[in-house]
Amino acid sequence: MKTKTLKWLSRTMNIILVSLLLVVFTMVITNVTSNGEPTIFGQELKVVYSGSMEPEIQTGSVIGINQNYDVRNLAEGDIIMFQEDNQTFVTHRITDVLNNDGQLMFRTKGDNNDAADANAVLPENIYGKFGGINVPYIGYVMDFANSSMGVMLLLVIPGLWLIGWSIKMIVTAFKEEKKQKRMDRPKLNEEVS
């Protein structure tokens, strides 16, 4: 019973660590190949840092932003990411499409906010349109994985553990094979006599 539990626990840990290693490896490779902005299915992955769009988009979620859109096709109800100032990007829902003397503008509001945003969004400030990818809480992992401590804990340590575990399994297999050969030898000698 104890051996079965240990084997089950060992297999479960292996599956978890291999999965984690593959996810982190994929994230690192994606970041490197896309100049630090990971993409999937043509959507740039972004982390949401506020709860203004909850419950639809939770704090810490990773969302997909599609940068291939036609600003003229944006409509009330669409979710967009726009640049509020030099360092702040906001993801809010369009509540109204305005046409001010031929100048297209968008009134926006976070679903969880009481009031609409103070300023209308100009088309040139729109970074992209929400593309439908929404994975809650994984943004915390992505941020951590992009830090030097995160790379160490999520990539290097599981990798070393898997290598050590593989070496242990190979050594155990060789020992079992040797033991089996020793057990088989006397049987061969008895049959020959």
Rounded CA separation 57/79 (Å): 10
* Active-site annotation holds for 50: yes
Which of the following is catalytic: 10, 50, 148, 166? Answer: 50
Locus of tokens 């999965």: 19
- Joined together, the tokens standing for residue 55 give 């419950």
Query: For the purposes of burial, counting CB atoms within 10 Å of the CB of 120, is it exposed (0-12), middle (13-18) or buried (19 or more)?
Result: middle
User: Could you tell me which residues come within 8 angstroms of residue 47 by beta carbon, excluding any fewer than 6 positions away?
Assistant: 60, 61, 62, 139, 142, 143
∠ Cα 107 108 110 (to 5°)? 160
List residues with catalytic annotation.
Answer: 50
